[in-house]
Amino acid sequence: MSEIGFNDNVQVYGRKFHVQTATHTSKGMASCEVFEEGRLINKNYVTFERRKSTDSEALEKRIREIVETIHQETMNEIELMFTISEKIKKMEHAPSHVKMGLLFVKNNLLQDAVDEFKTAIKINPDGVDAYNNLGLTYIRMQNFPEAVRILERALRIKSDYADIHLNLAMAYYYEKQHYKGLDHIQRSLRINPDYQVARYNQAILYLDSILSDKKDKQLPPANIRVERSIQQLQYLAKGNLEGITSIINKVEKALAIKDIEGAVKTLNGAREKLFPDAIHSIIGINFYLRFMYGGRSLNTHTLKSFEQELLDSIEQQGDYADLWNNLGIVHLIQCRNLFLQALNEFNRALDINPKFEKALKNKKLVENDGKEFLILLRAILK
């Protein structure tokens, strides 16, 4: 079977994106790439079952439908994302701008994200989440001095925010200011002693500081830094962090032959796998924006997709409060939609028999309760 591919442009609010989707049949997968002005900004993969079939035409049709659906949904998502962004521009609602910024970050549209976070700060100068996410975005853009400036400003608003201390520490790490970085990591751990990623990053900073300046007088001697790095990793092992034991073994082997650089590389290479991005938060953000600003885009099919994504995340990532909270909201909206469906059905009954008293009574009850349901949902999501 030959490979299947689609290429289309998406023009939205003066921007032009190119979406390219293609199968890799031997691997049982398809890739969907999004470009802007020739620059790859996002790439997603989906797997499909390669069932043996004597009917090659049926197999090709099934795979074509999968690929075409992914391709079309990606184009629709781009259009919807910028449509929602335009709606939010008219709103003086800082939390919506922060969520929009996070969605742009997820899609690797970093300058768009910066603009959203700055707008949120303009609306609410004390909104610490906007500063924190703006600083993180600058780190992703490798604008470390600006990240430091923004995150320091965030701490002047809320000094006991462990995440900001950690993010500032990493900005200093990339700036090779290890003493300041370690100071902020230690502050984050004083606020939250169980902050696993902070301990992991502390292990990295101690070792990397040896590479940058072995004799830094602001820090302990190099051998003590090595010991403290291993102590942090062992603490994580005691906390049963999945996958950490094999990483410790690799790091200790590298350190045994004085390969500090190799140990740092091992730790940096494993960090994303050990501490994956909180995809459940992005699902919730996307859901919030769809519900508040997406109009008719939050249809039955989309709700079912959100429900399945949340259920999959619960199965893969364990118990996160936001996952269950968002799943509850999805189910509430599904209930509301069933209310509206019931209203249509009672109306149909009255079209057939205008004197049907039970249908008239039920219609009035659903109309009243349906309005209250919508008010409830908007109150929950605000």
Q: Taking 80 as the threshold, does the pLDDT of residue 233 lie above it? A: yes
C-alpha distances out from residue 102 to 2, 150, 254, Å: 38, 17, 37
The predicted model scores a pTM of: 0.83
Evaluate whether 91-159 and 163-270 have a shared fold: yes
How would residue 371 be classed by pLDDT, with cut points 50, 70 and 90?
Answer: confident
The answer to whether the CB of 101 falls within 8 A of the CB of 116 is yes
For residue range 282-291, list pLDDT tens digits in order: 777 887 888 7
Which region holds residue 112: left if phi is over 0, alpha if psi is between -120 and 50, else beta?
A: alpha
Q: Taking 80 as the threshold, does the pLDDT of residue 113 lie above it? A: yes
Closest CA to 173 of 263, 268, 243: 268
Q: What is the pLDDT of residue 52?
A: 57
Beta strand 29-36 with 15-24: parallel, antiparallel or unpaired? antiparallel
Per CATH, the number for 163-270 is 1.25.40
Q: Phi, psi (5° rounding) for residue 115?
A: -60, -40
Q: What is the pLDDT of residue 381?
A: 61
Query: Which of 19-33, 133-147, 149-163, 238-252 shows the lowest mean pLDDT across its residues?
Result: 19-33
Q: What is the pLDDT of residue 90?
A: 87
Instruction: Give CA torsion, residues 180, 186, 189, 193, to 10 deg.
Output: 160
Distance CA 239, CA 233 (A): 10
What's the rounded mean pLDDT across residues 354-364?
89
How many Cβ atoms are within 10 Å of 300's Cβ, its own excluded?
11
How would residue 319 be classed by pLDDT, with cut points 50, 70 and 90?
Answer: low
Q: What is the pLDDT of residue 310?
A: 81
Please, what is the angle between helix 94-106 and helix 279-293, to 10°? 130
- Burial letters for 145-172: b for 16+ Cβ neighbours within 10 Å, e otherwise? ebbbebbebbbeeeeebbbbbbbbbbbb
Q: What is the pLDDT of residue 264?
A: 97
Domain residue limits, the chain: 5-85, 91-159, 163-270, 280-287+298-381
Q: Taking 60 as the threshold, does the pLDDT of residue 280 lie above it? A: no
Distance CA 49, CA 46 (A): 10
C-alpha distances out from residue 175 to 34, 197, 297, Å: 31, 19, 43
The strand pairing partners of 34, in sequence order, are 19, 42
* 29-36 β-sheet, strand order: 5-12, 15-24, 29-36, 39-47
Q: What is the pLDDT of residue 257?
A: 96
How many Cβ atoms are within 10 Å of 335's Cβ, its own excluded?
11
Distance CA 138, CA 141 (A): 5
Q: Taking 90 as the threshold, does the pLDDT of residue 329 lie above it? A: no
How many Cβ atoms are within 10 Å of 381's Cβ, its own excluded?
15
The answer to whether the CB of 343 falls within 8 A of the CB of 366 is yes
Q: What percent of the chain has pLDDT over 90?
A: 57
User: What is the average pLDDT score of the chain?
Assistant: 88
Q: What is the pLDDT of residue 59?
A: 76
- CATH 3.40.50.150 at 91-159, yes or no: no
| Amino acid in position 366 | V
Place of tokens 């075409």: 68
Please, what is the angle between helix 196-212 and helix 222-238, to 10°? 160
Q: What is the pLDDT of residue 238?
A: 93
What's the rounded mean pLDDT across residues 31-38?
93
Instruction: Give CA torsion, residues 257, 258, 262, 264, to 10 deg.
Output: 140
